[in-house]
Structure 1
Amino acid sequence: MARSTHVRTSDGTRLHAVVEGPDDAPLTVVLAHGWTLTHASWAAQVAALTATGAEHPVRTVTYDQRGHGRSERGAAVLSIDLLGDDLARVLAQTAPEGPVVLVGHSMGGMTVMALAASRPELFGGRVVGVLLTGTSAGGLSVPPPGRVPGLARAVRRGQGAFLAHAARHPARFERLRRLAPPTAALHRRQVRGFLFGVRPPRQAVLECARMIHDTPIEVIAAFFPAIMTHDKSRALSALSGVPVSILCGSLDKLTPVSHTRALAAALPHARVHIEAGCGHMLQTERPDVVSGRLRELVADVHPAVPRTEVGP
């Protein structure tokens, strides 16, 4: 049964979290979602891990990143490093002992890398495995191979300028948003074209559109430069001592395959899977693929590992 709880961050912000699975499970899986999404984007993976009769019983923790879903934004300047600190608090308050697998999608993957940068001692200790999907260690402002550099930079600048303008006039932008609700065909076409691949499930597109629509424009705008300037390539060595799985859709437009290949080059021991015909929302577009890879990782690390405590 799912249990809602709250996590208090270092700056006093309250994050909404959901715990599922038996409290005495020998392993906890903590899943961090991406930009403009919520903890619900992991519903299929949580169901797969906590299903009755699962071979490797686990406890799962999902949470809404600050400013998303039911979590407060707080007064601090939004950054990926701040999200890494938030994740440390989530671990300390929802999984204070026992081994943990960390899972991150997109900005959630960057959150895991930020934690690795600030708390490398956790990896290979408390953290016994990591799964990253549709994410990047940095360089998202650099045009990927095959793109026209000038055009790609112009698109990024245009996106940044649009979001900055919307953040300065949030009320006006929110009124415009209401003209194109998630159920509107135009909205769904935009979400499908930007975030999904070939023939995605209709319900997955609609649920994604709803999450994006419900995320305040100020939060979307504030995280855009944070994501563009994120660079944790030097922190990846902290992951070298734990099993790592890296997944990506072959048609991912937000974090193209080149970023997955860069992660794989930095972590040559990692298992890498590129799903053909799939976009950025791999865990909802092809949920069985992500759930299957996550179950494999859980099977690899499911323990008897001595319980140790972790502080905030």
Structure 2
Amino acid sequence: MSTPTVLRRVAAVRTGDGALVHAVVDGADDAPATVVLAHGWTLAQAAWDDVAALLAPRVADGELRLIRYDQRGHGRSTWGRYADDVAELSIDQLGADLGDLLDQLVPTGPVVLGGHSMGGMTIMCLAAARPELFGDRVGGVALVSTSAGELAPPGETLAERLQVRLAPGLVTTAIAGARAIERLRQLVPPASPRHRKIVRELLYGADATDEMVVAGAEIMHASTVRAFAAFYPALGAHDKRTELAALTGVPVEILVGDSDKLTPLRHSRTMAGALPDARLHVAERTGHMLIQERPHLVADALERLLVAAR
């Protein structure tokens, strides 16, 4: 089967503090609906490639416009006001960035948002800060392998208390020594069996192929030590469990793998409890990288949300 021809352009969205967010826009500007996809921590827009490929025929037919973008400090996007100091960096900032992207690239028409991991948290932050967008402009949301809060260690054991106390210092040290750490990373590239074994055990389920693992490992390896360290405390501080009201007014699909180690099933159940009309899908033998492992499930969820949004 031939690959559909898709109109593509690259856009740079300037945020309120001067950061440039790199986005790829597939499809015509006058398409009847737009899907915007936000990626996770230490990933990039390429993490959505498998889902995008499944949506490509609809994009080529003019039924859909698809936007993928690099989160601040990831991929080709810049740091803005956090270029020199990441102490105040938060997932709320990523929510504001997504709002700027919608204002500039999708000023009109129905929108469906999809977020994987930190990308899902980004959508929650936007909903908390700008609830008027949801139900009016944003007509559906897919939350994939993500969490509304309680990601930081609870501090119940000595090891957890030390982790919480030492985290800020470790972040500072990691950023200061980023060049040295980057050199060490090059000694164990994604092609090495050791690297693939670590990535597979942490992020993937039992059915993941070697090709999936290598592709994901390469995306993460292209990310910087600074992105890894800077967003770690921001993820721990993220808590929108009591600020999901805006999402109750739109269709929501929640997807999670039963083997997800980073945002386990209990996080998705918490969100589903706060959003009683949401649909919860648990994928068997699937890890945190559900968008790679089960892209058909995600594409199908986005299709359902588009029908509802239109």
2:51 to 11, 28, 45: 45
Contact 1:80 1:111 in 2 (8 A): yes
Aligned counterpart, 2:265: 257
Percent of aligned pairs sharing the same letter: 50
1:88 to 96, 99, 109: 99
- 1:111-190 maps to which residues of 2 (within 5 A)? 111-142=122-153, 150=157, 153=160, 157=164, 160=167, 163-190=171-198
Secondary structure at 2:80's aligned position in 1?
coil
Q: Does 1:28 align with 2:39?
A: no
Q: Does 1:69 align with 2:75?
A: yes
Cα distance change, pair 52–272 in 1 and its aligned pair in 2 (3 A): closer
Q: Provide the aligned C-alpha RMSD in A.
A: 2.1
2:283 to 269, 272, 275: 275
Once the two structures are superposed, residues 58-93 of structure 1 have per-residue CA deviations (whole angstroms, 9 ceiling, x without a partner) of 101110001111111223342101101100011011
Contact 1:49 1:57 in 2 (8 A): no
Secondary structure at 2:75's aligned position in 1?
coil
Mapped partners of 2:19, 2:96: distance in 1: 12
Contact 1:56 1:299 in 2 (8 A): no
Aligned counterpart, 1:18: 24
Mapped partners of 1:214, 1:53: distance in 2: 28
Aligned counterpart, 1:217: 225
- TM-score normalized by structure 2? 0.90
Q: 1:153 offset after TM fit, Å?
A: 2.6
Matched residue type, 1:6: A
- 1:238-257 maps to which residues of 2 (within 5 A)? 238-257=246-265
Q: 1:22 offset after TM fit, Å?
A: 2.4
Once the two structures are superposed, residues 180-205 of structure 1 have per-residue CA deviations (whole angstroms, 9 ceiling, x without a partner) of 11111111111111010103022221
Mapped partners of 2:156, 2:203: distance in 1: 21
Once the two structures are superposed, residues 229-255 of structure 1 have per-residue CA deviations (whole angstroms, 9 ceiling, x without a partner) of 100112201101100000000011111
Q: Does 1:59 align with 2:70?
A: no
Q: 1:53 offset after TM fit, Å?
A: 8.3
Mapped partners of 1:182, 1:211: distance in 2: 9
Mapped partners of 1:290, 1:168: distance in 2: 38
Q: 1:149 offset after TM fit, Å?
A: 5.2
Matched residue type, 1:228: G
Mapped partners of 1:159, 1:252: distance in 2: 26
- TM-score normalized by structure 1? 0.90
Contact 1:141 1:153 in 2 (8 A): no
Q: Does 1:287 align with 2:298?
A: no
Mapped partners of 2:107, 2:115: distance in 1: 19
Structure 1, 265-274 or 175-184: larger mean CA deviation: 175-184
Once the two structures are superposed, residues 91-123 of structure 1 have per-residue CA deviations (whole angstroms, 9 ceiling, x without a partner) of 011111111111101000010001011100110
Structure 1, 55-64 or 278-287: larger mean CA deviation: 55-64
Query: Aligned pair count?
Result: 298
Mapped partners of 2:159, 2:278: distance in 1: 30
- 1:227-246 maps to which residues of 2 (within 5 A)? 227-246=235-254
Secondary structure at 2:81's aligned position in 1?
coil
Q: Does 1:300 align with 2:300?
A: no
Mapped partners of 2:36, 2:158: distance in 1: 38
Q: 1:2 offset after TM fit, Å?
A: 2.0
Contact 2:112 2:306 in 1 (8 A): yes
Matched residue type, 2:160: R
Structure 1, 258-267 or 16-25: larger mean CA deviation: 16-25
Mapped partners of 1:53, 1:24: distance in 2: 11
Q: Which residues of structure 2 form unaligned runs of 5+?
A: 1-6
Q: Which residues of structure 1 form unaligned runs of 5+?
A: 304-312
Secondary structure at 1:135's aligned position in 2?
coil
Structure 1, 119-128 or 195-204: larger mean CA deviation: 195-204
Secondary structure at 1:31's aligned position in 2?
strand
Matched residue type, 1:2: R
Mapped partners of 1:53, 1:212: distance in 2: 27
Secondary structure at 2:254's aligned position in 1?
strand
Q: Does 1:192 align with 2:232?
A: no
